[in-house]
Amino acid sequence: MHESIGVEVLNLKREYPMRPIVGVGAVILQNGKLLLVKRRAEPGRGRWSIPGGSVHLGEKVRDATLREAKEESGLDIEIIDDRPLDVFDSIITDEKGRTKYHFTLLEFLARSKGGVLKADEDAAEALWVSLEDVKKYDLTDSFRVFFEKHEEELKRLSSSV
């Protein structure tokens, strides 16, 4: 059946998609710090967020979280809680009000279990930031909303990670 469907139809477009794209984020805590990456691609190019990206067809969301963290930060991680910290929509419209991007994001709490921190793939930079300083960075809009909503919870959780 798939042979008759064009490849362009199977590959979801990121810009002006036909439907929401499932994405994941790795909320990686270590010693009271959060791993931030500077995005190299749109949406949010040049702004800070957590490692993450789109789920591939046939890939489980937790596996996508592990893959994206490795691709963007060089770190191997483990997900701490099987349940996401949050699930939300990131919808960005253009000047005409059309939906330019629509991601449904699952954010998982994680910790590093090895690897060497280095920005790679879609990240221009990667660094550990004190939870007290995260809001000083030029965060993507969706991550700023997430962080403000969960800041106290992350501070509490960071002592046990």
**In angstroms, rounded to a whole number, what is the distance separating the alpha carbons of residues 105 and 23?**
5
**In angstroms, rounded to a whole number, what is the distance separating the alpha carbons of residues 63 and 80?**
13
User: pLDDT-based confidence at 11, cuts 50/70/90?
Assistant: low
pLDDT for the residue 152: 96
pLDDT for the residue 115: 93
Cβ(131)–Cβ(33) below 8 Å = yes
The whole-chain average pLDDT of the chain stands at: 91
User: pLDDT-based confidence at 73, cuts 50/70/90?
Assistant: very high
Cβ(129)–Cβ(30) below 8 Å = no
Q: Where are the domains of the chain?
A: 2-158
pLDDT for the residue 4: 39
User: pLDDT-based confidence at 10, cuts 50/70/90?
Assistant: very low
The answer on pLDDT for 89 being more than 60 is yes
pLDDT for the residue 8: 42
Give the CATH architecture of domain 2-158.
Alpha-Beta Complex (3.90)
**pLDDT per residue over 20-45, tens digit each?**
999 999 999 999 999 999 999 888 99
Sign of CA dihedral 70, 73, 75, 81: negative
- In 3D, which of 75, 88, 92, 102 has the Cα closest to residue 14? 102
Q: So which residues are the catalytic ones?
A: 125
User: pLDDT-based confidence at 154, cuts 50/70/90?
Assistant: very high
